[in-house]
């Protein structure tokens, strides 16, 4: 069942869509930024909130939130993660994209998909489609790009996100959901959560998190999550995970790639995807002023996506979309509780 509610005191075009399955799992999505604002699981003790988000459009547009903008729950595009100095070359032509993170492009620029109002269509009792037309020259990205994102909440307690896009010019593309998870309902940070990732390599980056073009083996290192381990085990050494894990999907095959588990709540989330990478960000720099609930390590972002800076890395796949192609990916989050 999908219900439609108001989400703003001032903008009637921004709505909240509430999807509830037969088990009482409830997902809330707004057409502003295609944001997953809430995901509640019906535990015996309470309906447990397991993602970070707000209750109104005004909260997402407030100065205190945007100052250290953590992109809670948003769909990111046209290009998630980083592009080195915001520069790409397509067919021999250099293109300068916005540099909104120091001298680099991050998560689509100053006004990416996360800040746009999407068209919404209820497809069924469990499916919501959000659509966006990004015009040629939008933040200097080439081509008219059409994007569809479908959220589906099924009765197997699985939230699926389906991505598709076309463009009439060759253009960088990398879409993701920037949802943060915390299975304690905000009572604790995420450092006692246990994470497992089926990955042998991460993308090597410099100190600004720009890829070097190389891959680093994780076996027996502090980056190794092939066996489930608590996030706090190596955090004193790492300080903060913000790394792209290379998945065995090869960007084509849907498969289970990761698990997140929290012992006290006994909540486990399985992540399946056909994206090539999984960006793990443990949220050290989350800082929403005057809101104690949203501080460092208050959530972990597990962003299924393709590789950062892919248009500038000859050995990275999936960095561009070409005319006549259809960009298609999906990610599924299944909850056990």
pTM over 0.85? The answer is yes
**CB-based burial, 32-48: b 16+ in 10 Å, e otherwise:** bbbbbbbbbbbbeeeeb
CA distance 243 to 253: 22
Is 179 annotated for ligand binding?
yes
Chain segment 225-266, per-residue pLDDT in tens: 999 999 999 999 999 999 999 999 988 999 999 999 999 999
pLDDT score of 203: 98
Is 214 annotated for ligand binding?
no
**Active-site position among 104, 107, 178, 329:** 178
Provide mean pLDDT across the span 275-297.
95
303 is a catalytic site residue: yes
Decide if pLDDT at 213 tops 90. Answer: yes
pLDDT score of 290: 81
Chain segment 150-181, per-residue pLDDT in tens: 999 999 999 999 999 999 999 999 999 999 99
Displacement of CA 18 from its chain's centroid (Å): 20
pLDDT score of 114: 98
Percent of the chain with pLDDT over 90: 97
Q: What domains sit in the chain, N to C, each tagged with a CATH number?
A: 2-336 (2.70.98.10)
Which tokens sit at 61? Answer: 């547009």
Is 21 annotated for ligand binding?
no
Provide mean pLDDT across the span 60-77.
97
In the numeric block, the tokens 């959220």 are attached to 151
CA distance 7 to 28: 11
Chain segment 11-44, per-residue pLDDT in tens: 999 999 999 999 999 999 999 999 999 999 999 9
Is 89 annotated for ligand binding?
no
CA distance 200 to 45: 38
**Active-site position among 104, 303, 318, 329:** 303
Q: Are 140 and 174 in contact (CB under 8 A)?
A: no
Chain segment 84-108, per-residue pLDDT in tens: 999 999 999 999 999 999 999 999 9
**235 membership: H or E segment, kind and range:** helix 235-238
Is 318 annotated for ligand binding?
no
pLDDT score of 100: 97
pLDDT score of 14: 98
pLDDT score of 318: 78
Tell me what the pLDDT averaged over the chain comes to: 97
CA distance 85 to 203: 18
pLDDT score of 111: 96
178 is a catalytic site residue: yes
Provide mean pLDDT across the span 200-204.
98
Is 182 annotated for ligand binding?
no
């Amino acid at each position: 069942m999908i219900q439609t509610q108001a989400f703003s005191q001032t903008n009637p075009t921004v709505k909240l869509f509430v999807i509830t399955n037969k088990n009482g799992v409830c997902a809330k999505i707004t057409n502003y930024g295609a944001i997953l604002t809430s995901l509640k699981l019906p535990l015996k003790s309470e309906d447990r909130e397991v993602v970070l988000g707000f209750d109104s459009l005004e909260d997402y547009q407030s100065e205190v939130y945007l100052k250290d903008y953590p992109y809670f729950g948003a769909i990111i595009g046209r290009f998630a993660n980083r592009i080195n100095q915001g520069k790409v070359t397509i067919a021999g032509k250099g293109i300068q994209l916005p540099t909104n993170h120091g001298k680099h492009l991050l998560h689509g620029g100053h006004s990416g998909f996360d800040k746009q109002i999407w068209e919404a269509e209820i497809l069924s009792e469990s499916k919501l489609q959000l659509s966006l037309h990004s015009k040629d020259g939008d933040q200097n990205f080439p081509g008219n790009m059409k994007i569809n994102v479908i959220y589906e909440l099924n009765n197997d307690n699985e939230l699926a996100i389906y991505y598709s896009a076309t463009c009439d010019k060759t253009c960088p593309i990398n879409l993701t959901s920037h949802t943060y998870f915390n299975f304690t309902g905000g009572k604790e940070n995420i450092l006692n959560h246990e994470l497992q990732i089926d990955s042998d390599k991460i993308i090597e980056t410099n100190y600004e998190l720009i890829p070097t073009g190389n891959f680093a083996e994780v076996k027996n290192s502090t980056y190794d999550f092939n066996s489930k381990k608590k996030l706090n085990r190596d955090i004193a050494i790492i300080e903060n995970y913000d790394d792209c894990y290379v998945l065995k999907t090869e960007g084509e095959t849907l498969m289970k790639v990761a698990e997140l588990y929290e012992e006290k709540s006994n909540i486990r989330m399985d992540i399946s995807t056909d994206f090539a990478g999984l960006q793990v960000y443990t949220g050290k720099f989350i800082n929403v002023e005057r809101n104690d609930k949203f501080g460092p390590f208050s959530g972990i972002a597990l962003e299924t996506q393709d590789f950062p800076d892919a248009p500038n890395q000859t050995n990275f796949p999936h960095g561009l979309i070409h005319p006549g192609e259809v960009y298609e990916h999906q990610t599924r989050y299944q909850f056990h509780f």
